[in-house]
Amino acid sequence: MTQIAMPQPDPLILAKRERIIAGLKERVPAQWVITEEDERRPYETDALTAYRRLPLAVVLPGSTEEVAAILSFLSREGVKIIPRGAGTSLSGGALPQEDAVVVGVGRLNKVLDVDFTNRTARVQSGITNLAVTTHISPDGFFYAPDPSSQLACTIAGNIAMNSGGAHCLKYGVTTNNILGVRMVLLDGTIVDFGGETFDQPGYDWLSLVIGSEGQFGIVTEATLRILRACEGARPCLLGFDKVEDAGACVAAIIASGIIPVAIEYMDQTAIRICEDFAHAGYPLDVAAMLIVEVEGADAEIDVLLTHIEKVARENGARIVKVSKSEAESAAIWKGRKSAFGATGRIADYLCMDGTIPTGQLPYVLTRIGEIVAHHRLRVANVFHAGDGNLHPLILFNANDVDELERAEQAGNEILELCVEVGGCLTGEHGVGIEKRDLMEKQFTPVDLDQQIRVKLLFDPDWLLNPAKVFPLNLHPLPLGRAA
């Protein structure tokens, strides 16, 4: 019904389901092998909820050694494996298949060691992103990449997707904040990449593993770079009558030599949705709004915000609200932080994630408006403007099959537009199944072939999170007929 095809399950694997389950129960305590249909149900999808597949079984290992035993068993049996963190992927990255076993790392959720002197934290991969920062914040430290989903999403998922967040303009994304990982290979070998030092000798395995979307192995531990927080942070809110002016203002702030920790953009639809929900005091009569946050001591923040206010006025900002207190800061952020929830309240939505050169912002926003109108839908734009990572939320009604298809079509056109103007399909959510079939828009066959050659080093039989990232026609083994 929906557009993205998934392979047919392998009948030979389905036929030996009992044997696979028995094998898992020999390797982890039976209570952590989930087989009943109603208990498997929560694992049938992730945050791309339009797609659901009930997995053959779910296993929740309690140690790296158990993960190793599970992987060597399943790979010997030729069973597909879906690594899973919290299942908040927006690209279908954690979507199971009927003939696959989900390996969830949720029980591996401990902080193993924190070293404030060397500014590192070693954690098990199933810990949530926010739990890391919560653990170290009493000492004034934090872990920088902060996806909006940080309350739920795991470090494992962040590593697999190379996740970003609102503060990555200054602090970078996951790949810039990981010093080491412990990963289990398909054959059960446990390898350590990186460690506690700044750089690693030999090949840069972390570059490859981070962003590999669960297709290289199962990450069970990670060593994170932790940072001392600045003394404070405060935002200002800027309102513009013209979308172009907001775009120009972003460029002007950066060109003037300031890297704010965050520059968030909201269009009028997004402002209205968030204001209705959060009553944050947002201006309803502007075409676009920016939230710009800077860090430092109070005196520094004053200097920076004064400078930003000046640049904003020069670039046509009609409304400038500079936060003077923690309460005012919270109010400014409240609407933005509830954007996804508030939107979900009024409609179903597809969250796009393309990135564009920021100079193309006005053109791309105009085109997005046209594309969505053409498909008789509405869009709300909320995104990280400093780095050009767009999140158009395409609003639709999931009970209307035709609307879903139109929404997916509009989404594809928007992503193609991003590539056309020199950007990319996904800035932080990953390819998963959602953007799989668009990969040939961004890459040539030899580019994809080179990526696949790297994948085959880790997973020659396409057992790890298969049917994702690469278009199905590039999978070398018969994965079954597309359904």
Partner 1 sequence: MSASSLAPQNSLEVASIVRDAAARRQSIEIIGGGSKRALGRPLDAAITVDVSGLSGVTLYEPAELVVSARSGTPLQHVTDLLAQKGQMLPFEPADYRPLLASTGEPTIGGMVATNLSGPRRLHVGACRDAIIGCKFVNGRGEEIVSGGRVMKNVTGYDIGRAMAGAYGTLGVLTEITFKVLPRSHATLTLVYEGLSCDRAVALMSAAVASPFEVTAAAHIAEGNRARTCLRLEGFDASITYRAGRLIEDLAEYGQPQRLDAAPSKGLWREIGEARSIIEPADHVVWRLQMPPSRSAALVNSLRAMMDVSVLYDWAGGLVWLSHAPGDDVTAVRTAAKAGGGHATLIRAGEALRRRLSPFEPQAPAVEKLARGLKHAFDPAGILNPGRMYAGI
Ligand X SMILES: Cc1cc2nc3c(=O)[nH]c(=O)nc-3n(C[C@H](O)[C@H](O)[C@H](O)COP(=O)(O)OP(=O)(O)OC[C@H]3O[C@@H](n4cnc5c(N)ncnc54)[C@H](O)[C@@H]3O)c2cc1C
Looking only at residues 460 through 479 of this chain, which bind partner 1 when binding is defined by CB under 8 A? 469
Find which of ligand X, partner 1, none residue 120 binds, CB within 5 to 8 Å per kind. Answer: partner 1
Instruction: Report DSSP letters for 118-140, one per residue.
Output: TTEEEEETTSBHHHHHHHHGGGT
Half-sphere exposure of 329 (CA within 13 A, CB side): 13
Find which of partner 1, ligand X, none residue 482 binds, CB within 5 to 8 Å per kind. Answer: none
Looking only at residues 343 through 382 of this chain, which bind partner 1 when binding is defined by CB under 8 A? 355-359
Looking only at residues 149 through 208 of this chain, which bind partner 1 when binding is defined by CB under 8 A? 161-162, 164, 168-169, 172-173, 175-176, 185, 189-193, 195-205, 207-208
Strand pairing report for 317-322 and 232-240:
antiparallel
Provide the angle, in degrees to the nearest 10, between the axes of the packed helices 361-374 and 243-255.
Answer: 150
Half-sphere exposure of 190 (CA within 13 A, CB side): 11
Q: Write out the residues near ligand X by the rule CB under 6 A.
A: 46-47, 82-90, 93-94, 105, 125, 147-149, 153-154, 156-158, 160-161, 163-165, 213-214, 218-219, 340, 428-430, 465
On whether the CB atoms of residues 438 and 451 are closer than 8 A, the answer is no
Near partner 1 by CB under 8 A: residue from 330, 454, 477, 482 = 454
Find which of partner 1, ligand X, none residue 125 binds, CB within 5 to 8 Å per kind. Answer: ligand X
Spatial separation of the C-alpha atoms in residues 69 and 82, rounded to whole Å: 15
For residue 138, state whether it binds partner 1 (rule: CB under 8 A): no
Q: In the complex, what is the shortest distance from the CB of residue 458 to partner 1, in angstroms, rounded to a whole number?
A: 8
**The amino acid at 244:** E
Spatial separation of the C-alpha atoms in residues 97 and 5, rounded to whole Å: 12
Find which of partner 1, ligand X, none residue 27 binds, CB within 5 to 8 Å per kind. Answer: none
For residue 116, state whether it binds partner 1 (rule: CB under 8 A): yes
Spatial separation of the C-alpha atoms in residues 235 and 176, rounded to whole Å: 24
Near partner 1 by CB under 8 A: residue from 18, 36, 138, 453 = 453
Q: In the complex, what is the shortest distance from the CB of residue 221 to ligand X, in angstroms, rounded to a whole number?
A: 10
Site string for partner 1, 294-333 (x = CB under 8 A): --xx-xx--xx-----------------------------
169 DSSP assignment: H
Instruction: Give the range of 53-61, 151-159, 329-337, 429-437 binding partner 1 by CB under 8 A.
Output: 429-437
Find which of ligand X, partner 1, none residue 204 binds, CB within 5 to 8 Å per kind. Answer: partner 1
On whether the CB atoms of residues 401 and 1 are closer than 8 A, the answer is yes
Residues in the chain: 483
Spatial separation of the C-alpha atoms in residues 307 and 359, rounded to whole Å: 21
By CB under 8 A, how many residues form the interface with partner 1? 92
